[in-house]
Structure formats: structure tokens, C-alpha cells
Amino acid sequence: MTSVPATAPDTQPDVHVPEAGDRGVALLLAVAAVLAAVITLVALNSSSDASSAWQSALRQEVARGVNAVNDIHYVYEVEAPGAFQVATSEVQAEEYRKVASSAAPDIAVQLQARAQVLEMSVDALRTSIEMAVPAYALPHGGYDTLHRLSDALADPTRVSRDPDGTMAVGDTAAARSDRLMDSIVVVALAFLFGALAQTFPRFRRRLLVMGWLALCAGLLAALAAGLIL
């Protein structure tokens, strides 16, 4: 009698094939993760730009203050005394010539020479004193120091910094970063719905739809906040 060998049982492991719902959850979570990472990266970059702009504005403001102090010192300590000397010399020269016109000849010559010396010193001073020009001359003599100081502070060749504009650039970048971070909250809802869909298969389809809607809303919010400039 011939015995028939027993057939070995099939020991191949069962292969789990992911269901369509599992793949939908995985896709939703993956896309949400990528979008959140991109938004975070752009928000951090915008925040860094804002910080850099604010620091630059602070440095510009300090530099502008130093320039203003230097201008005030130069106008009041250098130009104002020089302009006063020019004004007094002009008055003295004019008075010498008036007196010389009615004085004795020998005295008139001396007075005329003194007036000429004063006029020569005035001409020499004018080349180095920017205030001593007709534009700053007062009707009753002297020169307008405040007018000269105002022009010095507003001189575009000296004022080359705009801290207010730089600060505004930083504020704009910071506002953009804040809006982008707010949009991440909406994207986070997609994570929540994806996790719930994995946990509750009964409501998976509905939760996936809500997750994708939240993801689209987060993307639109990020675009509106300046994700792509």
C-alpha cells in the first residue's frame, strides 16, 4: 500500500492591501504637511526680513540724529559767528566810507583804506560761510540762522537715509508673516480631519472631504497673505 505524502500547508504571509480610504488619508496628511512646511518657511523668511529692516531703521535713525547734531553744531558754532563777523564788517565798512566822504583828505584816505580792508575780509569770509549769502540776509541786517539750519537739515546731499521708510518696510514684512502664520491654523484643521478619518472609518469619507476643504481654504488664505510675491 503506497502512502500519499501530506501536502504542506501554505505559510505565505497575508499581504495587506491598503484601501482607497487609507490612501486618501495618507495623501491628505502628506499634502497638508508639505503646505504647512512651505508656509512656515516663507513666514519665517518674512519675519527675518522684518527684523533686519527694523534694525536697519534703528541704525539709520541713530545716524540721522548724529548728522543733525553735527549740522546744528556747525551752523551755530562755525557759520553763525562767521556770518556775524561778515555782517558787522559790512556795516563798519559802510560807515567808514560815509564818514570818509565828509572828512579831511588825510583822514578820508585812512578811512577809505580801513573800509577796503574790511571789504576784502568780507569777500574772503563769504567763500567759506554758506550762511553769508543774500538768500539768508535779514531785512534789517544780519543773517537768518534758523533758515540756514533748516536748509542744512533738509539738504539731500547730507540726508541720505530714510529710517521711516525702512521701518514701514519692516512693518509690512511683519504683517505678512503674521497673516501667513494665521493661515497655518486653517491648514492644521486638515491634519485634524485626516487623523479623525483614520480613527473613525465610518465617517472617513465625510472627514476627508472636510479635510480637503480645509486644506484648500488654508492655501487660499496663504496666497492672500502673500505666500507668492
Residue 140 lies in a domain: yes
| Domains: count for the chain | 1
User: By residue range, what is the domain housing residue 137?
Assistant: 21-224
Query: Which range has the top average pLDDT, 52-61, 82-91, 98-107, 148-157?
Result: 52-61
Give SS3 for 90. Answer: helix
Query: Which range has the top average pLDDT, 19-23, 98-102, 120-124, 209-213?
Result: 209-213
Instruction: Give burial (CB, 10 Å; 0-12/13-18/19+) of 6.
Output: exposed
Q: Residue 189: what pLDDT?
A: 93
Q: Residue 183: what pLDDT?
A: 92
Residue 9 lies in a domain: no
Residue 133 lies in a domain: yes
Q: For residue 86, what pLDDT band results from cuts at 50, 70 and 90?
A: confident
**Are 41 and 221 in contact, with CB atoms under 8 Å apart?**
no
Residue 76 lies in a domain: yes
Return mean pLDDT, the chain: 84
Distance CA 187, CA 209 (A): 14
Residue 2 lies in a domain: no
Distance CA 44, CA 37 (A): 11
Distance CA 108, CA 129 (A): 31
For every residue of 160-171, DSSP letters joined together read ---HHHHHHHHH
Residue 175 has pLDDT above 70, yes or no: yes
| Cell 588825510 sits on residue | 106
Instruction: Give burial (CB, 10 Å; 0-12/13-18/19+) of 25.
Output: buried
Instruction: Give burial (CB, 10 Å; 0-12/13-18/19+) of 211.
Output: buried
**Are 205 and 21 in contact, with CB atoms under 8 Å apart?**
yes
DSSP 8-class letter at 184: H
Other beta carbons within 10 angstroms of residue 194's beta carbon come to 28
Residue 101 lies in a domain: yes
Q: Residue 159: what pLDDT?
A: 56
Residue 13 lies in a domain: no
Residue 14 lies in a domain: no
